[in-house]
Structure 1
Amino acid sequence: MGLLAGLHRLARRTPPSRERFIDLLRAIAIVAVVLGHWLVTVVGYDDGQIVGRSALPDLRWAYPITWLVQVMPIFFLVGGYANAASLTSHYRKGQHSGEWLVHRGARLVYPTTALVLTLAAGAGVAHVWQPDPSRVRLVVWFAAIPLWFLSVYLIVVTLTPLMWRLHCRYGAAVPLVLIGLVAAGDLTRLFGDENWGNGSFLFGWLAIHQIGFFWRDGRLPTSRRTLWMLLAGGLAVLLLLTVPGPYAVSMINVPGERLHNMSPPSLALFALFTVQLAVALLARGPAERWLRRPRPWTAVVAVNTIILTVFLWHITAAILLTAALHAIGILPTQPAGSAAWFAWRVPWLVMLTAVLAVLVAVFGPIEARATRRPRHRGRWLPTALADWLARPAPRLTLAVACLAAVAFGLLDNSLLPRTQPAPLGIPTIALVAYIIGAALLYALRCAPAEPPPSDTTDEAQPAADPSRRRE
C-alpha cells in the first residue's frame, strides 16, 4: 500500500506542462526490447553444455516483424527530448554543464554499477565450481549484453551540452551532417573496409538524439497531412532500401545477412525511424489526452521509476531461469519455429517476468536513490577537496572524464570475445576503468556545486535557449 500511495503521489505531482507521451514512449521502447529478447531466445545443449542464441536465423519469415519491434531509435529520440528539457532547465537556473552531467550521469551509472559489480563477484565465485574460465566469461558476456547499448548512450549524454549548443546555432544542419556521415559509413561498408563504418555507432544515434531536440522545441511537423506523407515516404524508402536494395530486411542483426541495420545504424534504420516518428507524432494528441487520466499515468510513472533496472537485468533473469530449469531437469529445448517452441513462449514469458520482478525488487531501489540529489557534502570528503570539486571548471572536466571511463569500461567489455577468459568475467582494464569512473562520479555528486552567481551569463543565460516552451 505504501508503494502504491507513493506512486500516486508522484503521479499527482506531475507538472501540467510535462509532455507525458514522452514517458509512455520510453516505457514502450524498453518493454519492447525486453520482450523481444525473451521471445526470440532459443536454448539448447551442445556436448552437454547449455547454449543460447537468437531464433531469427531460423525464422526468415519474421524479418519484416522486426520493423515493428526495433524501437531503439524511439529510445534515443525520447532521450534527446528529455536531455534537452533537463539541460535547459539547469541553464535557466544558472547551473553549469558539469553539474548537469554529474547528476544525469549518476542516474545511469548507479544502477549499472550494481549489475557490473554483481557480475564480477558472481564470476569470481563461479571460478570455484567452473574450471573452464571461458564458460564463466560466456555467461557474463550474455548477462552484459545490455551494456553495449548503454555505453553508446552514455557517450551521447556526455556530448549533450555540446550538441545542444550546435543545435541552437545551426539547427537542422547538425542532424543532416550526421546522417551524411552515416551514409558515408554505409558506402564504406558496402565497397570497402567495414571498420570504416563504425563511426555510425556514434553518428547515427547522435542524429536521432538530435531530432529529440526539435521535438522539445516544438519544431517538428504537426499537420496530419504532412505526417501521413512523412510516414508514406519513409515506408517507401525503407522498402526500396531493403527489398531490392543492399540492406538487410531485418532491423535486428542476423549473422550472415547482408549490410546490417542496427550495429551500426544504417540509412535503412533511419527510414524506419522516419516511419516511427510520423506514427508517434500522429498518436501524440490522443495519447496525451489519455495520459491525463490518473490510472494510465500512474502506470507509466511506475514503469519509468524502475525502467533502467528492468533493462539492465532482463538478460540475467533469463540466465537464472535457464540455470534453474536445467538444474531440476526440465529445461525445454524445442527447435526454433516448431509448434512446441511457440507454445513454450507463454509460460517462458510468465516465469521470466516473475524472476525479473524479484531482481527489480532487490535492485530497483538503487535506481530510485540515483534520482535523489544529496543535500549535504559527504562527510568523508575533505573540505578543501570538496570546495575544489564544486568549482565549475574542474567539475565539468572530471564529469566528462568519469563518464568517458565508465563508457570505455562498458565498451571494452562488449568488444572482448564472448569466450575469451577474464579473471572476473570482465576485462581487468575495463573493470578498473569503470570502477574508477563510477567512484569519482560519486565523489562529485557528494560535493555540491557552487551556487550560481547572481549575474548569470554564458551558458546559464536563458536567451541561449530558443525553445523555452515547456520542460
Structure 2
Amino acid sequence: MGSHRRGGAVQVGGGQVGAVPVGAVPVVPAAVGGETDTSPPPPRPAGRDRYFDTLRAVALIRVVTYHTFGWAWAGMVFPSMGVMFALAGTLMAKSLERPALKVIRGRLRRLLPPFWFWGVFVVVAMLIHDWMPGWQIVYWIVPLGDPPGNAWGQQAWEILWYLRTYIWFVLLSPLMLRVFRLAPIPVLLLSLGPILVLHFLWEPPDNRFGSALTDLATFLFCWILGFAHRDGVLQRLKPFAVVLLSLAAIGYGGWYAFTHQAETGSYDLDDIPLAQAFWSAGYVALLMYAKARFKVDFAALTLPHSRLRSSGGTPIAALDRLVTIFNARAVTIYLWHEIALILAVLLIDQFWNVPAFEKYLPLESQWFMFGIGWILIAIFVLLCGWVEDVAGKKKPTLLPGGRTATMGR
C-alpha cells in the first residue's frame, strides 16, 4: 500500500445511502409561550440515513485528526477507510438499480470537477517549485493511477490513493454485484482471499499497478459488505455467527499488526495491508450488522428543527446541520484538509513574530494547530464547496443544510 500515510477515506460519489429510507416524522404540536407551533418542517428528501451520514462525518473528523497527530492507534479506534468503502458499496448497489453506464457517468461527474478544481492549484504550485511532469500527468485528468508529483507537494497529493481506488471500485461494481448475487455469503467471505494471496503467495510490483491492486484487495471485503447490506443479506444472518467471525477478524488483524511492527516500525494499520483488511472487515461488519439487524438510524437527528428547539434540543439541531455539511462537502473537506494543515503550520510560524501571540497562545501545541486547521478547512468549504454543487447539477450554496436546502448531494 506504499509507505505514505493513508489516514482514512470518504465517500466521494455523493447521493443517498441506506437500504431503509428514513420516513417523514409526524409534526407534534409543541407549546411555546402558551402557543402551538403547527408550521410544517422544512422538506427533507427521502432516502437519507443519518446513521450512515454520521459515520461518514466521524470518518472525516478521524482523517483530519490522524493527519494532525499521526496517532497509530487512530485506525483501530475507527477504521475510516473501511467504513467509507462499505458505505460507498451500499450506495453503489442501490444506484445500480438503474443502467450501469448512467450510474458510472454520474459518479465520475460528481467526483472529477472538484478534483480538477483542487488539482489546478496543486499542479501549478508544483510547477512553480521545479516539477517537470511526463506523460503520467494524464492521471491528473482521470486518476486511474496515482497522479504524479514532486516531494514539495507530496503531503497534498498522497491522499489521492482513495480517489483512485474508489474509481476502480465504481468501474468494477456492475460485474462484482452480479457475481455477488450468484452466491452472496461465499463471495463475501472469499473477498478476503485476494489480500491473502498478495501477502503470502504473490508480491505485487512496486509501481502504480501494484499499489492499485493492493488497495483494491485491502478494501474489497468492505465494498462487498456494502452490497450485502443493501441486498438484505446481513439482516438474515445469525447474530452469534456475525459477532464471532467479526471478532475473529479483528483479533487476527490486531495480532498481525502488533507482531509485525519490525517490518514497518509501527502497528499502524495504514502501513500493514493485511492487518488493515482484517481489522476493517471485522469492525465494519459489526457496524453494518447493527444497522441491518437493529435498525439503528439516529432518528433524533431527523426530527424537525422546530420540535427540537421547542423541547430544548437546539444542540441536536446544530449537530444535524453539522452532519449535513460534512456529507454535502465531503469531497471538499477530504481534498483540502491537508493543504489546510500545511497552511496552519505556516500561519503559526508567523504567530511567533507577534509577542502577544507568543506569550498567550499555545503555539507549540498540536491541539492549537488542530484548531487552526479546522478554521482553515471551514474557509475552504466556504470558498470551494460550491464546486460540489455544480458537479451534482444543483444550485450552488455557501453552506448546505439550511431550512430550504436539501440534506443530501
Same topology, TM > 0.5: yes
Correspondence for 2:247 among 209, 212, 235: 235
Q: Please state how far the C-alpha of 1:67 moved relative to its aligned partner.
A: 0.8
Amino acid at match of 1:120: V
Residue 291 of structure 1 is matched in structure 2 by 301
What does residue 86 of structure 1 align with?
Answer: 95
Change (3 A) 1:298 1:64: closer
Q: Does 1:25 align with 2:55?
A: yes
Please, which of 371, 384, 393 is the counterpart of residue 363 of structure 1? 384
The answer to whether the 8 Å contact 2:348/2:363 transfers is no
| Structure-2 residue corresponding to 1:334 | none
**Partner of residue 366, structure 2:** 345
Partner in structure 2 of residue 308 of structure 1: 331
Structure having greater relative contact order (Cα 8 Å, sep ≥ 6) = 1
Mapping for residues 22-421 of structure 1, pairs under 5 Å? 22-40=52-70, 56=71, 63-88=72-97, 91=98, 96-127=99-130, 137-188=150-201, 199-221=213-235, 226-227=238-239, 230-231=242-243, 233-243=245-255, 247-249=256-258, 256-257=264-265, 261-262=269-270, 265-266=273-274, 269-282=277-290, 285-294=295-304, 295=317, 296-327=319-350, 329=352, 344-372=365-393
- Percent sequence identity over aligned pairs: 21
Change (3 A) 1:257 1:227: farther
What is residue 16 of structure 2 aligned with on the other side? none
One-letter code of the match for 2:224? Answer: Q
Query: Once the 2 structures are TM-superposed, how far is the Cα of residue 263 of structure 1 from its aligned partner?
Result: 5.3
Q: For 2:220 and 2:252, how far apart are their aligned partners in 1?
A: 25
Query: TM-score, structure 2 length as denominator?
Result: 0.66
Change (3 A) 1:12 1:239: same
Paired residue for 1:407? Answer: none
Report the equivalent of 1:12. 43
After superposition, give the CA deviation of every residue in 1:416-462 in whole Å (9 maximum; x if it has no partner): xxxxxxxxxxxxxxxxxxxxxxxxxxxxxxxxxxxxxxxxxxxxxxx
CA contact (8 A) 2:188 2:224 kept: yes
C-alpha displacement of 1:292: 2.6
Distance in 1, Cα, partners of 2:151 & 2:296: 45
Consecutive unaligned residues of structure 2, counting only runs of 5 or more, are 1-39, 132-148, 305-316, 355-360, 396-409
1:24 and 1:300 in contact (8 A); partners too: yes
The question of whether the paired residues in 2 share the 8 Å contact of 1:182 and 1:267 is answered with no
CA shift, 1:270, in A, is 2.0
Q: Which residue of 1 aligns with 2:19?
A: none
Deviations 1:141-173 (A, max 9, x none): 111122112111111111122222222333233
Letter of the 2:283 partner, please give it. Answer: V
Cα distance in 2 between the residues matched to 1:145 and 1:180: 27
The normalised TM-score by structure 1 is 0.58
2:228, 2:234 within 8 Å by CA — same for their partners in 1? yes
Residue pair 1:231, 1:279 contacting (<8 A) in 2 also: no
Q: Which amino acid aligns with 1:285?
A: K
CA shift digits 1:222-266 (9 cap, x unpaired): 67xx446634543344334543xxx22399x99733897435732
Larger helix percent: 1
User: Could you tell me which amino acid in structure 2 is paired with residue 265 of structure 1?
Assistant: P
The CA RMSD measured in Å over matched residues stands at 3.7
